[in-house]
Chains A and B, each alone.
Chain A
Amino acid sequence: MAQAATDTIEEMEARPSPSPLRLALRRLLRKKLAVAAILAIVIFYGAGIFAPLVAPYSYRQQNLDRDLEGPSLDHALGTDRLGRDMLSRVIWSARTTVIVTAATVLTGGIVLSVGLGLLSGYLGGKMDTLIMRVGDVFFALPGLPMLILINATMRPRVVEAARWVEDHTGIEGIVSSGAPDYFLIFGALSLFAWVGGARVIRSQVLALRETEYVQAARAMGAGAWRIVISHLLPNVSNIVIVGVSASLGAIAGSEIALTWFGVGIQPPTPSFGALIFDASNPRVINAHPHLLLVPGVAVGVLIFAFNLLGDALNDVLTPRAR
Chain B
Amino acid sequence: MQGILTYTLRRLLWAPLILLAVTFIAFSITRYGPGDPISVISGQFRDPEAFERVRAEKGLDKPVVQQYGIYLKNVFLEGDLGESISIYRGVPVWEIIWPRLLVSVQMGLIALIIAFALGIPVGIYAALRQGTWVDPFSISTFLLFQSIPALVAVPFLVLIFALKLDWLPVGGWDGPTVELAGQKIALGILSKSIVIPALALSLPAVAGIARLTRATTLAVLGEDYVRAARAKGLSEFTVVSRHVARNALLPLVTVIGLSLVTLLEGAFFTETILGIPGIGRLAFQAVTSRDYDVILALVLMLGVAFILANILIDIAYTFIDPRIRYERREAT
Interface residues of A (CB under 8 A from B): 1-2, 31, 33, 122-125, 127, 133, 136-137, 139-146, 148-150, 152-153, 156, 203, 206-207, 209-210, 218, 224, 249, 253, 256-257, 260-261, 273, 276, 279-280, 282-283, 285-286, 289, 292-293, 295-296, 299-300, 303-304, 306-308, 311, 320-322
Contact = CB atoms under 8 A, between A and B. Distances in A.
B271 to A, nearest CB: 12
B68 interface: no
Nearest to B265: A142
A210 B147 contact: no
A146 B30 CA distance: 9
Contact of A285 (B151, B159, B211, B306): B159
B32 interface: yes
B247 to A, nearest CB: 13
A299 B148 CA distance: 7
B149 A141 contact: no
Nearest to A252: B149
Contact of A280 (B18, B149, B164, B273): B273
> Which of B139, B156, B158, B286 counts the most chain A CB atoms within 10 A?
B156
Given A124-B331, A140-B310, A149-B287, A207 B324 contact: yes
Mostly, the B contact residues are: helix
12 contacts: A124-B329, A125-B329, A125-B330, A144-B268, A153-B32, A280-B151, A285-B159, A286-B164, A292-B155, A308-B140, A308-B143, A311-B136
A153 B290 CA distance: 12
Contact of A260 (B17, B22, B151): B151
Given A125-B328, A149-B33, A300-B148, A142 B302 contact: yes
Contacts of B34: 152-153, 156
Contacts of A137: 18, 21-22, 25
A36 to B, nearest CB: 10
Given A153-B34, A207-B324, A304 B149 contact: no
A308 B288 CA distance: 36
> Which of A136, A148, A292 counts the most chain B CB atoms within 10 A?
A136
Given A249-B147, A285-B159, A299 B325 contact: no
A303 B152 CA distance: 12
B30 to A, nearest CB: 6
Contact of A148 (B136, B211, B288): B288
Contacts of B295: 145
B18 A140 contact: yes
A311 B139 contact: yes
Contacts of A260: 151, 269
Interface string B275-304: 000000001101110000001001100110
A141 B159 contact: no
A261 B139 CA distance: 31
Given A152-B34, A307-B147, A33 B331 contact: no
Interface in B195-229: 207, 211, 218-219, 221-222
A294 to B, nearest CB: 11
Nearest to B207: A307
A222 B5 CA distance: 35
Nearest to A282: B158
A123 B332 CA distance: 7
A253 B143 contact: no
Contact of A207 (B163, B207, B321): B321
B152 A206 contact: no
Contact of B33 (A140, A141, A152): A152
> Which of A33, A276, A300 counts the most chain B CB atoms within 10 A?
A300
Contact of B325 (A146, A206, A308): A206
Interface in B30-85: 30, 32-35
Closest 7 CB pairs of A and B: A153-B33, A304-B147, A296-B152, A303-B147, A124-B329, A321-B222, A140-B303
Contacts of A139: 306, 310
Given A218-B332, A224-B332, 15 more contacts: A1-B320, A125-B328, A141-B299, A142-B302, A143-B265, A145-B287, A153-B33, A253-B149, A273-B151, A292-B156, A303-B148, A304-B144, A307-B207, A321-B219, A321-B222
Contact of B26 (A144, A146, A156, A286): A146
B193 interface: no
A316 to B, nearest CB: 12
Contacts of A308: 140, 143
Contacts of A303: 147-149
